[in-house]
């Protein structure tokens, strides 16, 4: 199944479990996803709606490798992460630590087994 159909199904399911049903389907697709026609990266609003729907998630701290630019890293995530994800930064006295929130236990477990996000992304082969 391609990302667009999967994203459409996920959006409809979360809308069905949304509190107050404040979103139309078209609004949700535009406001919840960074790229409505591409990867599965959620916006802050989308992440909030997924959490309101009580969808299980897993947070992982990460650092972007020096070999990646930020944009190359995001493109790689869009191609290789096959579940909804959200990227943000935890701000504390010790500084800012980026994290990725994955909405899939299997991918989260694989990321933990590989040890870091770079190793996990490197292990995934994308079919062209």
Q: What is the pLDDT along the chain (128 residues), one digit of tens a residue?
A: 577 788 888 888 888 877 766 788 888 899 999 988 888 999 999 999 999 888 999 999 888 777 778 888 888 899 999 999 999 988 776 778 889 999 999 999 999 999 888 889 889 887 76
Q: What is the pTM of this model?
A: 0.87
Are residue 36 and residue 10 in the same domain, yes or no?
yes
Would you list the DSSP string of the chain? --HHHHHHHHHHHHHHT-STT---HHHHHHHHBS-TTS--BB-HHHHHHHHHTT---EEEE----TTS-HHHHHHHHHHH--S-EEEEEEEETTEEEEEEEES-HHHHHHHHHHSSHHHHHHHPPPP-
How many domains does the structure of the chain reveal?
A: 2
Q: Are residues 32 and 84 in the same domain?
A: no
Residue 90: domain span: 58-123
């Amino acid at each position: 199944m391609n990302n667009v159909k999967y994203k459409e199904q996920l959006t409809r399911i979360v809308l069905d479990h949304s509190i107050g049903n404040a979103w139309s389907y078209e609004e949700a697709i535009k406001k919840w996803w960074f790229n409505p026609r591409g990867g599965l990266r959620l916006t802050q609003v989308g992440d909030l709606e997924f959490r309101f729907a009580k969808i299980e998630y897993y947070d992982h701290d990460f650092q972007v490798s020096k070999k990646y630019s930020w944009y190359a890293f995001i493109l790689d995530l869009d191609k290789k992460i096959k579940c909804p994800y959200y990227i943000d930064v935890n701000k504390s006295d010790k500084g800012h630590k980026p994290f990725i929130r994955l909405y899939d236990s299997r991918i989260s477990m694989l990321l933990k087994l590989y040890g870091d996000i770079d190793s996990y992304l490197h292990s995934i082969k994308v079919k062209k």
